Amino acid sequence: MVICHCRAVSDGLVRAVVVDGADDVDAVIRRCGAGSVCGGCRPSIALLLAELAAAADDTRVAAVGLRPPSAA
């Protein structure tokens, strides 16, 4: 799914940069460009970050998946 239409960035790429260490919206913007044009996708990026952080509370996100293994 495309999360940033301006830069054609998928949610999968955002997940990958988060798993690789981007821990806030600005870090995501720096690493993949999502959110760097109109900014309309920044709330979606923030929501995805929150979901990934919640999943990481149970375990590190399995590879690039969104749900922890216990919720799969």
Give the residue, chosen from 5, 12, 24, 62, that forms a contact with ligand FES under the rule CB under 6 A. Answer: 5
**Smallest distance, ligand FES to C-beta of residue 72, A:** 29
Q: Does residue 4 bind ligand FES (CB under 6 A)?
A: yes
Beta carbon nearer to ligand FES, 51 or 68: 51
Q: Which helix (H) or strand (E) holds 26?
A: helix 25-32
C-alpha distance from residue 64 to each of 18, 19, 37, 40, 69 (Å):
9, 7, 25, 24, 12
Give the residue, chosen from 20, 23, 40, 69, that forms a contact with ligand FES under the rule CB under 6 A. Answer: 40
- Identify the residue whose tokens are 């979901």: 51
